[in-house]
Chain A
Amino acid sequence: MMKIVDLFCGGGGYAYGFLMANPIFEVIFAIDIDYRAIETYKHNIPTTHTLIEDIRNVHSTDILKCTGEKEPDVIIASPPCESFSSANPGRMRREYDQLYSDEIGRLFLEAIRIIIDLEPDYFFIENVAQIASFEMKKLVKYEFKRSKYKKIYFNILRAENFGVPSIRKRVFVSNIEIPQKPSQRTSKTSQEAFESLQTDRFIANHEIMPSPKNFERKIPHLPSGVALVYFKGSGRKTYRNFVRLEKNKPSPTVMGKSRFIHFEEHRICTVREHARLMGYPDTFEFLGSIESQYNQVGESVPPILSEYIAQRILLALNN
Chain B
Amino acid sequence: MSLQNLFMVFHNSHSRNAVKYFADTCIGLGCRNIIYSKLSSAAASIGIPEAQKTIFKSGGNLLFFSDIPDIIEIFNPNLIFFLVPQKFANEPVPYANIAKELQHDKKILIIIGGTTPGVTRKELDLGKGVFLEEVISDVNPITQTALFLIGIKKAIQENE
Contacts and interface: CB of A to CB of B under 8 A. Distances in A.
Contacts of B147: none
A62 B138 CA distance: 15
Nearest to B84: A59
Contacts of A113: 120
A57 B41 contact: no
A100 interface: yes
A59 to B, nearest CB: 4
Contacts of A228: none
A146 interface: yes
Interface string B118-129: 101110000000
B120 A146 contact: no
Contact of A146 (B40, B69, B115): B69
Interface in A132-181: 146
B117 A116 contact: no
Interface string A93-124: 00001001100001000000100111000000
B121 A117 contact: yes
Contacts of B40: 100
Contact of A57 (B14, B42, B87, B117): B117
A240 B67 CA distance: 44
Contact of B116 (A56, A60, A106, A117): A56
A209 interface: no
B130 to A, nearest CB: 16
Interface string A28-72: 000000000000000000000000000011111110000000000
A60 to B, nearest CB: 5
B118 A59 contact: yes
- The main secondary structure of chain A at its interface with chain B is helix
A146 B67 contact: yes
Contact of A117 (B67, B87, B122): B122
B14 A60 contact: no
A101 B120 contact: no
Contacts of A62: 117
Contact of B120 (A56, A97, A106, A117): A117
Nearest to A101: B41
Interface string B66-100: 01010000000000000000011000000000000
Interface string B35-72: 00000111000000000000000000000000101000
A117 B117 CA distance: 13
Interface residues of B, number: 15
A146 B115 CA distance: 19
Given A56-B115, A146-B69, A61 B121 contact: yes
B14 A101 contact: yes
Contacts of A61: 87-88, 121
Contacts of A118: 121
A146 B125 CA distance: 14
A117 B124 CA distance: 10
Contact of A116 (B41, B115, B120): B120
B116 A116 contact: no
A110 B63 CA distance: 26
Given A100-B14, A101-B41, A101-B42, A60 B115 contact: no
A102 B146 CA distance: 29
B120 A60 contact: yes
Contacts of A116: 120, 122
Nearest to A60: B121
Most chain-A CB neighbours within 10 Å: which of B87, B115, B121?
B121
Most chain-B CB neighbours within 10 Å: which of A59, A106, A146?
A59
B59 to A, nearest CB: 32
A106 B88 CA distance: 24
A33 to B, nearest CB: 14
Given A56-B115, A116-B120, 15 more contacts: A56-B116, A59-B88, A59-B118, A59-B120, A59-B121, A60-B121, A97-B41, A100-B14, A100-B40, A100-B41, A101-B14, A101-B42, A116-B122, A117-B121, A146-B67
23 contacts: A56-B115, A56-B116, A58-B117, A59-B118, A59-B120, A59-B121, A61-B87, A61-B88, A61-B121, A97-B41, A100-B14, A100-B40, A101-B14, A101-B41, A101-B42, A106-B14, A113-B120, A116-B122, A117-B121, A117-B122, A118-B121, A146-B67, A146-B69
